[in-house]
Chain A
């Protein structure tokens, strides 16, 4: 058994160890993606609001 194969086999416990690590990677990736998306979306919306307000004031249509 080569070293790589031995590593992947995890002493026979591969079907427990690797899913655990996969879940961990998924949770971290999910959290990072979710946080990034929240910030990105909030920033876009805030910029849009600012642009809308800047467009209104020169017209003087809103105080």
Chain B
């Protein structure tokens, strides 16, 4: 009664690509809309109905403008912000990954007293709304007299470190214990086991958490706004964008904000392109050969 095999196979394939297309449209269309808006002039943005591509208000011809991009790259604050953000997000990610993977290895694979309280305590650090801890954090930063960039990196640990620790703990736990024991039998120290065996095996998890932590740090706004208030030179990109002012007083430069949104997303897309192969590096194949 079944339809011929190749037919059902074809149907399955068509269904798969249909789902894939829906996912693509859902996830990318709003971003396409940002690109579209970034290529429109102020007058084009006010057109109703909104157009799918930038069109000339009178003739209806395709008429994109690069003015918004030119303006944001002439903005020193924005360019400086890109550099600051890169430094802050990269350092935050590396620090959170190193400290987090050490802690996660202990929490996921070693036996010691006080494991559960430690796990909950680390998670509890990130359970307060940012607004609430802001004042206290600011006091700590001023007491320690840290440079603005360093203080941002450190304060971002409050939301990245618990995240990397927890995710990596879950992944370390999932790795087969047999590998670890055989290494111990071979006389490897726990540190060697960690570096030589666990770390390569968790590469996908490291890349995944690293990317997510990087994006979280790259996007952070409230801490950055507060800590850079006395040092505008250290402003990160989100803060720089918030300070965009329109040509006309009190008018919001929406096209420029959208252009900035597109520009700021590009480095992350590049990062993901570089690392996406590692996300799916054959973890299990490695484990079997390991």
**Genuine A/B complex:** no
B interface residues (Cβ-Cβ under 8 A, vs A): none
